[in-house]
Structure 1
Amino acid sequence: MMALANRSSPLLVGVAALLFLAGTVAERGRRAASDLITPLRAPLGLAALAFLAWCLVSLAWSPFPALWGRVLSEFLPTLAAAAILARLAPARLPPWALPLGAGLLAAACLFIAASLALGLAPQAWLGQRVALFMFNRPLLTVVLLAGPIAAFLALRGHRLAAVILLGVAALAILRSISGAAILGLLAGAVMFAVGRLAPRSMALALAALTLGLAFALAPVEGDILHRLMPEAAHERLTQSSSRARVAIAQSFGAAVAQAPWIGSGYGMGLHFAEVPASQALEPEMRAMLAVGHPHNSFLQIWAELGFVGAALAALVAFLALRAAAALPRLLFASALGLLGAAVAVMFVEHGAWQGWWTAGLGAAITWLRGAACAKPPYESAHESEDARA
């Protein structure tokens, strides 16, 4: 659906969550509520609730209280749907879900690759917008989904199908103009290899370092790139507007310095040039703030929610990494691959609260947890029981 309509994932994840919720209620009655509430009492759940609570608290000093409603109306419902899906779906996936999901993902990748090879002629025939960047969101969704679904296939004994799926996904991504998708593909592949080949403690340390640097360097990203990025690199990245991106990162980083502790309020990206923290900046910097977001989710969290919000978001990320550390080796490597791909994309692309990205992450986590819950056909019953324990 994302290949045909690149904003459809929040709706699809919402419908899927409602269906699984209805099925769980029909199956378990009132006990279904415990399936959703119990994870919120764990450290990861409490940290996530604390982060969301800080988002709401930050509205108290928001200079444009009408803006947050538009952001929350997209982000919170999609986040709730993604959480419900990731919690309820994995243990309830029917046997045909995996081949259907893998087949549709492969078909979507082939459709995208063929459309690009034909100069978007299929989109013209369908009466859609003809622009190469229209596949950027679908391909970023592919970056998230391909690894977990391929790992699920491999665990079910379908290793050739897993390789084919990864191959067609890479084909579509490398054929596109999405630099963020290509970066996510490379980062995910590197982190998967680390998780698969390196000692688990070393892989965890590298993943934790990656997360830590993503949060710590976000406020100074623009200044670092301005000083270190050579002119030749800008010339090679003309299509990615690298000069403008560096200037945008510098401007948002300067705004962070004006309100470092509590930020300027959740959802202020659309009017960040008018918030109090930006008034002390030079006019050319304020002009760059008008783009709406810094193309770096970590920097956006800093700018809108300050150090407190960034610390809470980092806590959520590190606790999620700790949970991934207990997975079997292949799924652990797949989780690190998903982490690497997501962090790479978030550091260079889109706003932090966009529903399509939240939906894609929720779907990827659902498939990863589905693989963890499934009983591989080659396991004995005793081994399967030990794995679940």
Structure 2
Amino acid sequence: MSPAVARLRASGAVALILVPPAMAVANRSSPLVVGVAGLLFLAAELIEDRQAALRRLALPLGTPLGLCVLALLGWCLASVTWSPFPLLSLRVAGEFLPTLAAAYLVARLAPGRLPPGTARLAGLMLGLAGLYVVASLATDLAPQKAFGQRVALFVFNRPVMTMLLIGIPLVALLIRSGHARGAALALGLGLAAILRSVSGAATLGLAAALATWAVARVLPRRAALGLAGLGLGLAVALAPIEGDLLHRIMPEALHERLVQSSSRARVAIARSFGAAVAADPWRGAGYGTAARFAEAPVAAGLEPEMRSMLAVGHPHNSFLQVWAELGIVGAALAATALLLTLGSVAKLPRAELATVLALIAAAAAIAFVEHGAWQAWWVAGLGAAIAWTREGFAQAAAATTRLRPSALAR
């Protein structure tokens, strides 16, 4: 390895481990940080072996999962042609696609090429990010006031969700590599930040991750994968009727307990977007139109009380947003991609499979109740989380290779 390649990879690793603290300080920073990391790793690979780098990047795109994702992206771009707000659609794509590319670069090129000790430093950075969040909330957001930043409790919602995504594979990696102290630091401070924050989505994602991890460790492999597939399938299939279901089954007492989560408003929003899906279920209103959905032609035919809740910007459910913007074709492609993802990890060892399923469960739970589908900070966080997941695979494979000669000698 040349000195230039080593420096580029080390710099990329620094950028990767800075994602959690950067998000804690500035909650929209992850696309920039992941973008820098992706470019640094790409530059290193192109210098070392350009042809190998291009093959490494192109290989997954020819798999069934890769082709399905490309088809979904193609449908997104095709839908711009019938979008009532094509400039808005293109602007959303202009934010989403570069971040998706950066996340892909990091997820493909960082694993197996990180300098020794990177995971331990990443655990330290994750712990420091959690400590910053806890300290800020305990001091009535004193750092935000001092720096002239926005003073609101929800400013840490995105950081703690990002910390959860990254923390799942990173803590598992630290434990498997024998760094129990680093894992305990990252886990303890990360959990404290999530539970101390006002992010109900992060708490829900944490609960889903823990439950799924436990199930995957106990149940047979097929049963665990089957339950995960059922959960993802239902998340997509039930999204258009989520609002109506919750409207019928949620008692008033539960709404009172969830008043800080604005549960009544969320149910009303889900009902409104569900009504829009029912009015145009086939192709949707067009990619990226959620921000102006109340002005879309499909909204004109809805009842006035339904139209008013379409102005919130997105349905707080990524699966429902896909239905509303991309119709049944987009929803079918998204569901297929999710199930193919499960298929691609089905043969992993049990410990690694449990980690992957926990990450998928956390991401799906958050996506079902929180942000817009195409937000760049979310994609960047997922890319970093996948990079750490694959780094765990790479280290496990390297350990197996090192043990093989001694095992044969015995």
Both structures adopt the same fold (TM-score exceeding 0.5): yes
Of the three residues 159, 166, 169, the one matched with 1:138 is 159
The one-letter code sitting in structure 2 at the alignment partner of 1:349 is: E
Determine the structure 2 residue equivalent to 1:292.
Answer: 313
Instruction: Give the structure, 1 or 2, with the largest relative contact order (CA under 8 Å, sep 6 or more).
Output: 1
**Percent identity of paired positions between Structure 1 and Structure 2:** 59
Q: How far apart, CA to CA, are the structure 2 residues paired with 1:197 and 1:109?
A: 30
Determine the structure 2 residue equivalent to 1:126.
Answer: 147
Q: How far apart, CA to CA, are the structure 2 residues paired with 1:119 and 1:22?
A: 43
Of the three residues 365, 384, 387, the one matched with 1:363 is 384
Q: 1:377 to 1:88 in 2, by over 3 A?
A: closer
1:216-227 equivalent positions in 2, closer than 5 A: 216-227=237-248
Determine the structure 1 residue equivalent to 2:173.
Answer: 152
Q: SS of the counterpart of 2:224?
A: helix
Q: How far apart, CA to CA, are the structure 1 residues paired with 2:378 and 2:171?
A: 20
1:40 aligns with 2:61: yes
The answer (yes or no) to whether the contact 1:155–1:376 under 8 Å persists in 2 is no
| Displacement of 1:70 | 1.2
1:180 aligns with 2:201: yes
Determine the structure 1 residue equivalent to 2:7.
Answer: none
The one-letter code sitting in structure 2 at the alignment partner of 1:52 is: L
| Displacement of 1:154 | 1.4
1:286-365 equivalent positions in 2, closer than 5 A: 286-365=307-386
| Displacement of 1:330 | 1.6
The number of equivalent residue pairs is 386
Q: 1:209 to 1:299 in 2, by over 3 A?
A: same
| Displacement of 1:299 | 0.1
The answer (yes or no) to whether the contact 1:98–1:149 under 8 Å persists in 2 is yes
Q: How far apart, CA to CA, are the structure 1 residues paired with 2:254 and 2:381?
A: 31
Q: How far apart, CA to CA, are the structure 1 residues paired with 2:93 and 2:167?
A: 28
The answer (yes or no) to whether the contact 2:89–2:288 under 8 Å persists in 1 is yes
1:12 aligns with 2:33: yes
Determine the structure 1 residue equivalent to 2:110.
Answer: 89
The answer (yes or no) to whether the contact 2:269–2:315 under 8 Å persists in 1 is yes
1:80 aligns with 2:101: yes
Once the two structures are overlaid, the 10-residue window that deviates more, 296-305 or 155-164, is: 155-164
The answer (yes or no) to whether the contact 2:235–2:319 under 8 Å persists in 1 is yes
Structure 2 segments unaligned to the other structure (5+ residues) = 1-21
Q: How far apart, CA to CA, are the structure 2 residues paired with 1:68 and 1:185?
A: 32
Q: How far apart, CA to CA, are the structure 2 residues paired with 1:163 and 1:309?
A: 41
- Post-superposition Cα deviations, 1:234-280, rounded to whole Å, max 9, x if no partner, equal 11111111111101000000000011011111011011112121111
- Post-superposition Cα deviations, 1:150-197, rounded to whole Å, max 9, x if no partner, equal 111112112343233222211111111111111111111111111122
Q: How far apart, CA to CA, are the structure 2 residues paired with 1:35 and 1:159?
A: 33
| Displacement of 1:381 | 2.1
Once the two structures are overlaid, the 10-residue window that deviates more, 376-385 or 19-28, is: 376-385
1:150-229 equivalent positions in 2, closer than 5 A: 150-229=171-250
The answer (yes or no) to whether the contact 2:201–2:369 under 8 Å persists in 1 is yes
The one-letter code sitting in structure 2 at the alignment partner of 1:36 is: L
- Post-superposition Cα deviations, 1:2-36, rounded to whole Å, max 9, x if no partner, equal 00000000000100000000000011123321111
Q: SS of the counterpart of 1:7?
A: coil
Q: 1:92 to 1:273 in 2, by over 3 A?
A: same
Of the three residues 133, 138, 143, the one matched with 1:117 is 138
Q: Tell me how large the CA RMSD over aligned residues is.
A: 1.6
The one-letter code sitting in structure 2 at the alignment partner of 1:220 is: I
Q: How far apart, CA to CA, are the structure 2 residues paired with 1:226 and 1:333?
A: 34
Q: How far apart, CA to CA, are the structure 1 residues paired with 2:404 and 2:301?
A: 63
Normalised to the residue count of structure 1, the TM-score between the two structures is 0.96
| Displacement of 1:378 | 6.4
Structure 1 segments unaligned to the other structure (5+ residues) = none
The one-letter code sitting in structure 1 at the alignment partner of 2:64 is: P
Q: SS of the counterpart of 2:314?
A: coil
Q: 1:123 to 1:200 in 2, by over 3 A?
A: same
Q: 1:296 to 1:167 in 2, by over 3 A?
A: same
Q: 1:301 to 1:378 in 2, by over 3 A?
A: closer
Once the two structures are overlaid, the 10-residue window that deviates more, 60-69 or 14-23, is: 60-69
Normalised to the residue count of structure 2, the TM-score between the two structures is 0.91
Once the two structures are overlaid, the 10-residue window that deviates more, 25-34 or 249-258, is: 25-34
